[in-house]
Structure 1
Amino acid sequence: MDEMELRFEGNPDPGRWRHRRKEGKGRSVVAFVIVLLLLGGLGAGGWYGYDRFAGRFLAADYDGPGSGEVIVEVKKGDSASTIAETLHGAGVVKSTRAFVNAANENPKSTGIQVGQYKLRKEMKASEAVVALLDLKNKHVEGAFTIPEGWTHMQVFDALSKETGIPVAEFDKAAENVQALGVPALWFKRTDGKKVNKKDIEGFLYPATYELPKDATAEQILKMMIKNFNAEMDKLDFVETVQSELNISPYEALVAASIAQVEARLDVDMGPVARVLYNRAYTGNFPCTCLQLDSTVNYWLRLIGKDAKASEKLLASELHDPKNPYNYDVKGMAIGPISNPGEVALKGAMNPPKSNYYFFVTIDDKGTTAYGVTNDDHEKNKLIACKNGIPIC
């Protein structure tokens, strides 16, 4: 069976799904064993054995949302098959194979976090995957998770719902980022642009936090900043960026925050960061600007508007002179547009060398294609359009 591993919060060796072994002959062996169990005169015992093998290797699935309530736990280091066994044992899914298949087909499944979840019995496997991705189903009291790629606005809104503290109090506490514990070295850039010391974006490290009872907004944010500093030290982010890339840590943080949003797959975090650096710093990209829809959408969110799909963004929005994140701003963006996780940060620290200046998602699996020239990019866009990606 194709067994693949999920990356969970706190896993010391995070990774995407990894193939381990293939099916083929394995199916024949399973079929042979099932036949033996059914024909070997084992009666009830044979049926029990068949049920176990069918649950493990056949993709039997429920067809509804399920009913009732059951608590299941995803533990540190659990593989996809381990989670499937847990769910099958709790009566959530009809077979382990159905869950593994559903997880493989959902590119977001790698975002499932460690913890306890409230699920229903007899759920369709694909709905069980979605339920595990929904933080509202988290059962651990006092635990609060920041998913990779959330903006500070999303974090504050979720924190307010979790704690009852008004969003305005988090906004006020975030007005002095340095007082919350962000070191002064993060407020410098090598490209001459100024860093907004009231901008907390990028410093709220994605993780699961235990919120102290009756904690204030300031105390909660200080706890998160403390974790950010610890993770940066663990990654040796500052020293690596300064010595290997000759840019400020803040600029690399900005790149990581953009790669986190733009790259659908972990493997593309580094290559996308390299494209950003190539555009912003080499002088070989005509406008030396980023030209990204994601930065434009971030500004729309900042001013209280909804983000738009790329094909729906207007030229007036892309080139809005009042938008400091617009298409035409030269160099690296003025600040982070999300809170990047470990993979994106590592990608921004150690991006693979390339002469790519373009990238585009070309299928619903999140595959990214790269190009050196605009002609390359247009060809990749045609591939995306043929695959149903709405960018034409």
Structure 2
Amino acid sequence: MDEDSDLNDDLGLRAMSRADRRAESRKLRARKSRGCLAVVISMAVVAALVVGAVLGFGRIRDKVDGIFAAPDYTGPGSGSVTVEIAKNSTTKGIGEALEAKDVVKSAKAFERVARKDSQSLSIQAGTYTMRKKMSAEAALALMLDPKSSIQVRRVSIPAGKTLKQAAALLQASKAAKLPAGSVAAALEKPSSLGLPSYSHGSAEGFLYPGTYDLPKNATATSILRQMTMEYTKAAIELDMQRIAQAGGPDPWTAVRVASIVGAETNRKADYPKVSRVIYNRLNAGMRLQMDSTVHYVAGRDGKVFTSKEAREYDSPYNTYKYEGLPPGPINSPTRELLQAALHPAKGSWLYFTLVDLDTGETAFASSLAEHQTNVNKLQAWCRAHKGRC
């Protein structure tokens, strides 16, 4: 082969190489394009599957529910039972509350029915009057009907109220809707109120303060029984009988002491200290000289000090005039007050007095001289706050 031929062949090969390279480049771009397209298509497919799963989940779940049916009663149910629905309860939580009271056969049945009705999301916390052994559908319908179900009939008796005051609040309660004179009539039959054996036949001290949910058929007697039952529950939890058997104060003494403590101070931290002062004075044979017991006789609730005339009232409740505890409680104490009466603080105090009426700060003393120093502090406060004492 001559030189010209060799040169032409070489140029031809080079030309082919450039062409091949361009071809390969086109193929590579094509492969990249197909790859990107595949990724886009794959992402679209995944997105479609996700959307389909979300949209189809309810239908799939309904089919599964159909296969695995939850136990359910049939019909509207019968009888009456109250169910408390707590705040922020989920549909599942509501179903569980209903199941616990045998309103529905299973929480799952109620949950499935509620899931199909968006109104179920409007169910609010409160007390509901339901029937037993209802179908889940009937239970939901009743809960959504405020005329038939939602009660939230509540009556509140604050701490520190005397029997007379508590009775007046209960009688006047719009929620209780009691016939005129029914509370007084019920109190005249103490044997029907569930009072403890040591109550001496009086509800004074045993109408436990608190907020009570009332069923539709509530009567004066049934409400008063609710209150005395709460006292009994607190007494059991505080183990009052065992404490008495172990040498501690008996329940009757504890209730009377607790009622005085609650009327003398509103600072929980001081409850055990005031309780100790009372026991120390009793053990020393001193008169209690508690203004609160004089106020009870005079009917001047909420006052701080007593007058000289009031301290001369001739009543066994006047602890300025008579030794020992008064013959009965002067109000219904709370659990914390009962706890303080059962477990007084350790100390030798015989006196206490307010030194700041705004904060309720109370000073305790073991001697009369020390007590007088504290009284001087109170008098100084009163001078700085004219008209307050």
Compute the TM-score of the two structures, normalised by the length of structure 1.
Answer: 0.56
Q: Name 1:182's counterpart in structure 2.
A: 195
Correspondent of 1:142 among 150, 153, 158? 153
Partners of 1:361 and 1:230 in 2: CA distance: 33
Residues 2-151 of structure 1: matches in 2 within 5 Å?
141-151=152-162
TM-aligned CA deviation for residue 308 of structure 1: 7.2
Give the alignment partner of residue 378 of structure 1, picking from 360, 372, 378: 372
Give the corresponding residue for 1:68.
none
Alpha carbons of structure 1 residues 242 and 145: separation in structure 2 relative to 1, 3 Å: farther
Q: Is the 8 Å Cα contact of residues 290 and 333 (structure 1) preserved in structure 2?
A: no
1:278 Cα deviation (Å)?
A: 1.2
CA distance in 1, matches of 2:258, 2:367: 23
Alignment correspondent of 2:288: 290
- 2:156 touches 2:210 (CA, 8 Å); kept in 1? yes
- Partner secondary structure for residue 387 of structure 1: helix
Aligned to 2:336: 343
Q: Could you tell me how far 1:261 is from its partner in structure 2? A: 1.3
Q: 1:276 to 1:177 in 2, by over 3 A?
A: farther
The 3 A distance-change label for structure 1 pair 145 and 242 is: farther
Distance 1:372 1:202, change over 3 A: same
Hey, what does 1:263 align to over in structure 2?
265
1:251 maps to what in 2? 253
Cα deviation 1:82-116 (Å, max 9, x = unaligned): xxxxxxxxxxxxxxxxxxxxxxxxxxxxxxxxx99
Aligned with residue 312 of structure 2, among 299, 319, 322? 319
- Cα distance change, pair 366–233 in 1 and its aligned pair in 2 (3 A): same
Question: d(CA) in 2 for partners of 1:227 and 1:358?
Answer: 33
Q: How does 1:168-317 map to 2 (within 5 A)?
A: 168-184=181-197, 186-187=198-199, 196-197=200-201, 199-245=202-248, 247-283=249-285, 288-301=286-299, 306-307=300-301, 309-311=303-305, 313-317=306-310
Cα drift, residue 317 of structure 1: 1.7
* Whole-Å separation in 1 of the counterparts to 2:194 and 2:318: 26
Offset of residue 386 of structure 1: 2.2
TM-score by length of 2: 0.56
1:108 is aligned to none
Q: Corresponding residue for 1:126?
A: none
Task: Report the Cα offset of residue 212 of structure 1.
Answer: 1.8
8 Å CA contact 1:362–1:387 kept in 2: the answer is: yes
Task: Tell whether the 8 Å contact from 2:171 to 2:182 is kept in structure 1 after alignment.
Answer: no
1:367 matched residue in structure 2: 361
RMSD in angstroms over aligned alpha carbons? Answer: 2.7
Q: Is the 8 A contact 1:319 1:326 kept in 2?
A: no
- When the two structures are aligned, how many residues end up with a matched partner? 239
Larger Cα-atom Rg: 2
* Higher relative contact order (Cα pairs below 8 Å, separated by 6+ residues): 1
> Partner of 2:23 in structure 1?
none
Residues 381 and 154 of structure 1, relative CA distance in 2, 3 Å threshold: same
Aligned residues: percent identity? 31
Q: Could you tell me which residue of structure 2 aligns to residue 84 of structure 1?
A: none
* Structure 1 unpaired stretches of 5+: 1-73, 77-114, 117-138, 188-195
Q: CA deviation at 1:240?
A: 1.8
The answer (yes or no) to whether the contact 1:241–1:252 under 8 Å persists in 2 is no
The whole-number CA distance in structure 1 between the counterparts of 2:337 and 2:207 is 14
1:149 CA displacement:
1.2
Per-residue deviation, 1:258: 0.8
| Partners of 1:290 and 1:328 within 8 A in 2 | no
**What's the CA shift for 1:281?**
2.9
Runs of 5+ consecutive residues of structure 2 not aligned to the other structure = 1-85, 89-124, 127-149
Seen in structure 2, the aligned counterparts of structure 1 residues 228 and 314 have a Cα distance that, compared at 3 Å, is same
2:240 touches 2:250 (CA, 8 Å); kept in 1? no
Letter in 2 for 1:280: L
Which stretch shows the higher mean deviation, 316-325 or 331-340?
Answer: 316-325
